[in-house]
Amino acid sequence: GGGGGGGVDAGGGAGGGNTGTGADMEVVVLGSGACNPSPTRSASSLALRLLNSYWLFDVGEGTQVQLQRCFVAPGRIDRIFVTHAHGDHCFGLPGLLCLIARGRDRDAPPMDIYGPAGLRAFLRVTLRFSGTKMLPRFVVHELHDIPNLHSSRPPPPPLAVAPGDVRSSDAGEQPGGLDLRPRPDGCWELLTTAFGESGSGTLRAAAGR
């Protein structure tokens, strides 16, 4: 599970969310307990710091607490990637969005959330059911046509929700979400981003066992 200290930093300002290594890139394992979390090993989540921005991979239950234990400022999370639809990888996402909203600048650009088809519907239903209003602005991008590699039984059909069913607002889901499909090489191209003053990189996803 995630590491040390008793400090809490839910803000997004320049003074928080850096463990002080001085490196441009840093990985923090927040949880690795899969579907069997324990008091000493949280559910799946990993934070990647690129300069002053955090990318989060999976959001199992308890991620909110682990972020604060590990001095990762939720307000600096700019991208979230859900690797697959099992609950131990996504059940913490709705609650985490509320925590992010507390520390994220209201003028900040919308967060990008990537995940398998059905993620958009999962968030819309969960947030609407709970009447959640304290939310950052975010855009949901779904990966479609993912092969079923883990079972001989076919997966349930995803909840299909078109990305264009939302309007611009001060909080919550924003328009601009993409439905991404695999390229001929079987990979999904997610984004290309600048890194530092002169570097850039492209992030791709691939299906694997």
Dihedral (CA of 132, 89, 16, 171) sign: negative
Q: Are 162 and 144 in contact (CB under 8 A)?
A: no
Dihedral pair phi/psi, residue 29, rounded to 5°: -80, 110
Dihedral pair phi/psi, residue 154, rounded to 5°: -65, 145
Residues 6 or more apart whose Cβ sits within 8 Å of residue 63: 30, 31, 42, 43, 45, 56, 92, 96
Q: Are 122 and 68 in contact (CB under 8 A)?
A: no
* Among 9, 88, 107, 112, the one annotated catalytic: 88
Neighbours of 17 (CB within 10 A): 25
Q: Which residues are registered as beta bridge partners of 28? A: 47
Catalytic (active site) residue 185: no
Q: Are 139 and 176 in contact (CB under 8 A)?
A: yes
Positions annotated as catalytic residues are 88
